[in-house]
Structure 1
Amino acid sequence: MLALLPLAAGAQAPAAAQPEIQRPPGTAQATGAVHTVRQIPEACTRIEGRFTGQADAPYDMQLARTDARCQPRAALLDFAQVQPGKDGWRLNDRIRIPAAACPGLQAVVEVWRRPVEQPMTRDGQGQLRVYLGEARQQAEAGKLASLPAFAVNLAMEGKPCR
């Protein structure tokens, strides 16, 4: 899964966008301490990060699968292929992680989301149902509904300490 999503470190998304989830800056993290940045249960993914202490790459971020048996209900896409603010992409979350060893430095992880509106029709009893036979026919015909998608971007703010 890590090869599927090379992250565009330093690529800037529109800064004026307000995230759907509002949160205060996270707890300051020590150099070398691996921590969970955020989980995306729909994509069966956990974002893990750590401050490296290196000037050229001060923060390292990895994507980890939450469970081998988890069935993703959303796609995780490469941020370089996403056009933030266009094609339905919304800024879902902006997570700021300060460095404990360098108070002016922080990692900023943005999670972008592209929802998919799936029309649901009720049957004669007023229930929303998925019938296996119909779902198989749609899959064989290549007419499955598209999945919601997420993309993750990493940026650094502040000056690294020497």
Structure 2
Amino acid sequence: MRLSLLAAAAALVAGPVLAADPKPEISRPAATPQAVGAAHTLRQIPEACARLEGMFTGQAAEPYKFAVVRTSASCQARARFVDAAKAKPSPASGWKLNDLIRVPNAGCPSQEAVVRVWRKPTGNAPPKLDAQGRSRIYLQESKEAAAAGKLAAIPMFAAEMGVAGKACTS
């Protein structure tokens, strides 16, 4: 019970940081508190063949690290994962806040990692139905479109990370 009270206190401390965000498309409670040095999966994004993985480091300079890991070498991505620092995702530029992931630090309940996952939809519609009622993509038509430089845009994802709350001293 004490841990849940401390996690709630950490959420209150992080509240002002999160107040400026638009409402995310996916609503979820804070994750299970994670121990320092234990790598954990934050989220999988199958359409980008990616998994977000994080870990509390216990270091004051860099208290939390996260990385985008490819899920499989044979996975065929239907979306791209881009660097948030370069893409600068914001609602004004067409990005949508897809997910807000909060991970409390088990060793320091006043601290939590906050990961924002952004999605940029393309608005592409599926191909028109043919006479048999099927949506089909024809190789020759796709080759011609690629040669003409008229490929459809693909959705993009970006993730940015921050740490909220007070750091604990040992």
Q: TM-score, normalised by structure 2?
A: 0.84
Contact (CA 8 Å) 1:13, 1:84: kept in 2 or not?
A: no
Equivalent position of 1:98 in the other structure: 104
Structure 1 CA distance, aligned partners of 2:134 and 2:34? Answer: 48
Q: TM-score, normalised by structure 1?
A: 0.88
AA partner of residue 55 (structure 1): A
Q: Deviations over 1:23-65 (max 9, x none)?
A: 0000000000000011111111111100000011100111111
Structure 1 CA distance, aligned partners of 2:150 and 2:120? Answer: 19
Structure 2 CA distance, aligned partners of 1:14 and 1:83? Answer: 17
Q: Which has the higher helix share?
A: 2
- 1:7-156 matches, within 5 Å, as 15-80=20-85, 81-119=87-125, 120-156=127-163
Structure 1 CA distance, aligned partners of 2:124 and 2:162? Answer: 33
Contact (CA 8 Å) 2:89, 2:118: kept in 1 or not?
A: no
Structure 1, unpaired ranges of 5+: 1-11
* SS of alignment partner, residue 103 of structure 1: strand
Contact (CA 8 Å) 1:98, 1:107: kept in 2 or not?
A: yes
* SS of alignment partner, residue 143 of structure 2: helix
Contact (CA 8 Å) 2:34, 2:56: kept in 1 or not?
A: yes
Q: 1:141 to 1:35 in 2, by over 3 A?
A: same
Q: Deviations over 1:94-151 (max 9, x none)?
A: 0000000000100000100011111332223332111111011111111110100000
AA partner of residue 115 (structure 2): V
State the identity %. 50
Structure 2 CA distance, aligned partners of 1:117 and 1:82? Answer: 20
Structure 1 CA distance, aligned partners of 2:148 and 2:168? Answer: 57
For the pair shown, the structure with the greater C-alpha radius of gyration is 2
Structure 2 CA distance, aligned partners of 1:15 and 1:105? Answer: 19
CA-atom RMSD, angstroms?
A: 1.6
